[in-house]
Chain A
Amino acid sequence: MTINLKVSQVPPREQRLGSVTGYAGDLQDLVSQARCGSLESRDRCFKQTSTCVSCALFGLTTIKDVAVVNHAPAGCSAIGIGVQVMNRQLAARRGTTNNSVIIGTGMDEADTVFGATDSLKEIILQVYERYHPRAIFIGTSCVTGIIGEDIDSVADELSQELPVPVKPVHCEGFRTHIWIGGQDVVGHTVLNTFVKPPKVKTNKINFINFFESARDEIIETFGKFGLEPVFLMVNSTVEELEHLSEAICTTSMCGTLGTYLGNALEQEYGVPYVRTLNPSGVTGYETFLREIGRVTGRSEPIEEHIAEQRELYINQIEELKKKLKGLRVVIGMGPGYALEIARVVDELGMEVVWNTSWHFDTNYDNGEVPPAAAYLADKGLNFGMSVSDQQNYELLNVINTYKPDLYLSRHTGTTVWAIKQGVPALCVADEYMIYGHKRVLEFGQAVLDTINNRSFEVNLARRTKLPYTDWWYQQKPTALLREVTV
């Protein structure tokens, strides 16, 4: 499906990528259904809370010195402090500053009846006076979406009045159950606000990631290949974003994170989007680098680097595998990592007994099944698989049913529940936790450390009661998925 940058609202993933939030079966079935186009989302008769697509607004504030005006009641914009503290810390790590802000408009009951575009305009003008941001993004909310507040016109009007771009950012929480779609909205907004047509071609790589913890190391490694990574979007400057179209290629640490921006840059400006396995684990890292080598014509130095890394680490990794062999693992993560980590788990000789992915994209924006899923399926691997938008009750039932040696989480909020059931759990919070050969070793060690001192979870599990009923634990984990699709 072609990406349409002319529309104001990015179509939700359910429509654009055939993404699903309800599925139960196994990996082979999931991939074969995705390939033949028969995959449909199964609804649930019971849901617990998950996450909001308005994470787009947080994503935009990681760009330096912009302002988000969230036209919403007070609860939505209360994320402002989390954003401010995180951005402050992320900037401090780089020795820089980020003065981006999220401002709310505190919509009240009368505003839900009469609308509040006049107040919104005044607030935006005030925000400009206070902060002189490089751009102003008007974030929508459930309320503005339902009452039909004309944000686009406000943005157009104020773009004429102010010397900086003012853009609408549509991220109404009720529009989609797939919150990572918020990142599509970020990509869409960045393309429409900042990115300019290329004047020159450079040796820069647009490196889409979350929190750039391995930035220095990657800059050093890629420097040896004559490539210059530009990390997106944390601490990104407007100037960096203006030149995204001039890069030699784009890549992403997470396929589900980068699909929109990566494919759109390829579609609009011919910047190749490197979309292989992500660089987690040995196979992932080597596959990823080789494709970058092929696309940028740097195969030779990249092969040298791979050989060097193998020389340093492969024997140690083989030793480590002996200790990890046979450990049974349940994985619960977003789709960009769930199947990537499953590959690493398999690679290290452990066994995936169940994989829960917060959603599943039938295809990415290039029309292909996500590479991590395709790779595992083509390799003939299979394991129980569910798609569940962080439905905690399903996950605890899975863990109770399979009683694994280890639970691997990524998105925050689920790890503790595994340990309350007495299962050791490791949160793969940092997207670079298994990046490259050396970190494979560190990850393996972290797994062993988690299993070898179980004091914390055993102490806690002894004194806690689980939140679900016995009835629920006697059901199948996916018992509350409806048969019919909606």
Chain B
Amino acid sequence: MATILDKQRYSCPLAGMRTVSAIQRSLPILHSSQGCAEKLFGGGGSSGYFSPHIFPCSALGESEVIFGGTDRLRETIEYAFKVVDADFYVVLSSCVSEIIGDDVVGVVASFEGSEKPLVYASTPGFGGTSYTGHEAVLKAIFSQYLEPAATVEKGLVNVWASVPYQDQYWAGDYEVLGSLLESIGLTPNIIFGYGSSLEKVQRIPAAQFNLLVSPWVGLSGVQLLEERFGTPFLHYPTLPVGAVETTRFLETIGSFAGVDPLKTKQVIDRNEERYYHYIERYADTFLETRVMAKYFTVISDAVQTLAFTRFFTNDLGLLPGKQYVIDETPEEYRDLVRAQFTDLNYGNAAEISFESDGHLIHEQIRAADYHGYPLLIGSSWEKPLADELFAHYLALASPSLERLVVDRSYVGYSGGLRLIEDIYSVVMTRFN
């Protein structure tokens, strides 16, 4: 049923085009109206090998709405093969093509045996969110393209985490997660961003296991991989930011993968030593800055809200105000997500709300008592609210339009230090 989308933070399933385009040399083909890509792709990092304006599109118009658009789609695919130099093509359906009932599956099937691999995902705008669109694309690739591997490669780990582009830090996050795995002797298979390729996609079934670093997005995908290829998965719900969580992350992965515990411990010791070397040097700043908030609120998707809540509480010793999860977490995953907010250090637990109505979120934040200035981690939507509340505010959540993110990541030991730098760079602009 239509519901109010006020201060909207996600878009629609067709935004799954970004997931396709996050795999280097993979090309979405849109069976949609001509303007969807520009509206859905967003601004950041959109001039890679392909850009939204390079995505082939059937540009459905009035006549296709009346007479059907399958001929248009067939022709678009034929010429996409000839004109655009890609390795992998993913046809995405849209509101228009689904309502007019175009047989997209049939068109895609007619290309079977063609030189270039082609799969299809159903991504009508009315069918979910940008999070479910990401999942739809993954499932399409897993079920239509992947073939069982001859052998399982020991130590090879597929990494599934942030939703590309929906999370602005996705590119850096995948790189850092890969480095963390490498540090304990595993071989990360990173599907998205720098260094990705069709070959890496092809290797997915050969992995020893799938690692899902996300509270719920992507769970259906790794389950499908287990079903199809018997690949086990490790579900680690928290994106590790800072020392406490990253150490727990490495221990958990190491133990699941069968890494020698001594090796894992050496890696952890080396990293923690470096991390606390820096924390020690700057602890006086943290302790004696007169205006720093003690209570924080994060308004983001489950990935970020959880990751930052755990970092602020367990690493920095701050206290959680109410936390907001805006990604329309499906009902069946909500208990799982909630549970991650309950086992914080010193018996702390964060109250969380699955709420996407930004107006209501802002009303609740205004009414809350933060015992001083709050630390607000949100999106560009929170800027005026932060001004109003005199909050310390950092736009880390999507959509954030006034901050350029290239390969920055808050993941890992160094990521925690980066986040501290960014927060205190806000805090230090003010004296009380």
Contact residues of A with B, CB < 8 Å?
45-54, 71-82, 84-85, 88, 101, 103-112, 116, 119-120, 123, 126-127, 130, 141-143, 146-147, 173-177, 179, 389-390, 392-393, 413-414, 416-417, 464-469, 471-472, 480, 486
The CA-CA distance from A184 to B7 in the complex, in Å, is 27
Known: A46-B76, A107-B126, A469-B84. A147 touches B99 (CB 8 A): yes
Q: Interface on B for A, CB 8 Å cutoff? A: 1-15, 30, 33-40, 43, 47, 49-65, 75-76, 79-80, 82-86, 94-96, 99-100, 124-127, 129-130, 359, 379-381, 383-384, 399, 401-402
Q: Is the CB of B125 within 8 A of A173?
A: no
Q: Do residues B84 and A468 form an inter-chain contact, with CB atoms below 8 A?
A: yes
Inter-chain contact B39/A52, CB cutoff 8 Å: yes
Contact A49 B34 (CB under 8 A): yes
What are 21 A-B interface contacts by the 8 Å CB criterion?
A49-B35, A49-B37, A51-B34, A54-B39, A74-B11, A74-B129, A81-B7, A81-B380, A105-B3, A108-B127, A109-B126, A146-B100, A174-B33, A174-B62, A174-B64, A177-B34, A179-B35, A413-B53, A468-B85, A469-B83, A469-B84
State which of B30, B58, B125, B383 has its C-beta within 8 Å of the C-beta of A73.
B125
Contact in complex: A393, B83 (CB < 8 Å): yes
Q: Which residues of B contact A417 (CB under 8 A)?
A: 47, 51
Chain B residue with the shortest CB-CB distance to A111: B2
- The answer on a CB contact under 8 Å between B49 and A45 is no
Known A46-B56, A103-B5, A179-B35; contact A75-B83, beta-carbon cutoff 8 A: no
The answer to whether A393 and B3 touch across the interface, beta carbons within 8 angstroms, is no
Contacts of B11 in A (CB 8 A): 74-75, 78
Known: A48-B57, A49-B56, A480-B83. 11 other contacts (CB 8 A): A48-B53, A49-B37, A49-B52, A50-B59, A79-B39, A106-B3, A116-B1, A123-B2, A143-B125, A467-B86, A471-B82
Contact between A416 and B47 (Cβ–Cβ < 8 Å)? yes
- Could you tell me if B33 and A472 are in contact, using CB atoms closer than 8 angstroms? no
Contact B57 A47, beta carbon cutoff 8 Å = yes
Query: How many angstroms from the CA of A112 to the CA of B101 in the assembled complex?
Result: 12
CB within 8 A of A130: which of B51, B86, B359, B401? B359
Whether the Cβ atoms of B2 and A472 lie closer than 8 Å is no
Q: Which of A48, A49, A126 contacts B4 (CB 8 A)?
A: A126
Tell which of B14, B38, B381 has the most Cβ of chain A within 10 Å: B38
Q: A73-B125, A146-B96 are in contact. Are A50 and B34 (CB under 8 A)?
A: yes
CB-based contact B33/A467 at 8 Å = no
Interchain residue pairs A-B with the least CB separation, the first 5 = A52-B35, A75-B12, A104-B5, A73-B125, A46-B79
Shortest C-beta distance, B361 to chain A (Å), equals: 13
B54 and A45 within 8 A (CB): no
The answer on a CB contact under 8 Å between A81 and B8 is: yes
Interchain CB contact under 8 A, B61 and A52? no
Smallest CB separation, A105 vs chain B (Å): 4
Given the interface pairs A75-B11, A79-B39, the reply to whether A85 lies near B64 with Cβ below 8 Å is: no
Given contacts A112-B99, A116-B2, contact A75 B65 (CB under 8 A): no
**Contact residues in A for B85 (Cβ distance below 8 Å):** 465-469
Partner of B39, one of A76, A108, A111, A413: A76
Closest chain-A Cβ to B74's Cβ sits at a distance in Å of 10
> Are A123 and B4 also in contact (CB < 8 A) when A46-B79, A84-B380, A147-B99 are?
yes
Residues of chain A contacted by B64 (CB below 8 angstroms): 174
Q: A392 to chain B: which residues have CB within 8 Å? A: 51, 53-54
- CB-nearest residue of chain B to A54: B35
In the bound complex, do residue B5 and residue A393 qualify as a contact, i.e. CB atoms below 8 Å apart?
Answer: no
Per the bound structure, the CA–CA distance linking A29 and B125 in Å amounts to: 42
C-alpha gap A142/B36 in the complex (Å): 10
Report Cα–Cα, A88/B401, bound state, in Å.
12
Chain B residue with Cβ nearest A145: B65
From A74, A76, A88, A416, B51 is in contact (CB under 8 Å) with A416
Taking a contact as CB atoms closer than 8 A, the residue among B15, B57, B402 that contacts A85 in the complex is B402
Q: Which of A53, A72, A107, A467 has the most C-beta atoms of chain B within 10 angstroms of its own C-beta?
A: A467
Please determine whether A46 and B75 come into contact, CB atoms closer than 8 angstroms: yes
Which of these, A54, A75, A466, contacts B15 with CB under 8 Å? A75
Inside 8 A of B14's CB, which chain A residues have their CB? 75
List the A residue with the shortest CB-CB distance to B69.
A174
- What CA separation (Å) do A140 and B314 show in the bound complex? 47
Which single member of A46, A50, A73, A469 contacts B38 (CB below 8 Å)?
A50
Contact present for B2 and A119 (CB under 8 Å)? yes
CA distance A305 to B2 in the complex (A): 57
Chain B residues lying within 8 Å of A73, measured Cβ to Cβ, are 12, 95, 124-126
What residue of chain B has the Cβ atom nearest to residue A130's Cβ? Answer: B359
Contacts of B55 in A (CB 8 A): 48-49
Contact status B8-A85, CB under 8 Å? no
User: How far is B5's CA from A126's CA once the two chains are assembled, in angstroms?
Assistant: 11
Nearest-neighbour CB distance to chain A for B73, whole angstroms, equals: 11
Query: Cβ of B63: which chain A residues have Cβ within 8 Å of it?
Result: 486
Point out the residues of chain A lying under 8 angstroms from B43, CB to CB.
Answer: 82
Give the residues in chain B near A112, CB-CB below 8 Å: 95, 99, 126
Q: If the complex has contacts A52-B39, A85-B402, A392-B53, are A47 and B2 also in contact, measured as CB distance less than 8 A? A: no
User: When chains A and B are docked, how far (Å) is the Cα of A466 from the Cα of B86?
Assistant: 11
Q: Are B2 and A71 in contact (CB under 8 A)?
A: yes
Interfacial chain A residues near B9, Cβ < 8 Å: 81
Distance to closest chain A CB from B93 (angstroms): 13
Partner of B10, one of A72, A78, A472: A78
Q: Which residues of A contact B62 (CB under 8 A)?
A: 174-175
Residues B47 and A81 in contact, CB atoms below 8 Å apart: no
Are B59's CB and A469's CB within 8 A?
Answer: no
Q: Shortest Cβ distance from A15 into chain B, in angstroms? A: 10
Q: Are A45 and B59 in contact (CB under 8 A)?
A: no
Q: Are A111 and B126 in contact, with the CB atoms below 8 A?
A: yes
- When distances are taken between beta carbons in the complex, the residues of chain A under 8 Å from B58 are 47
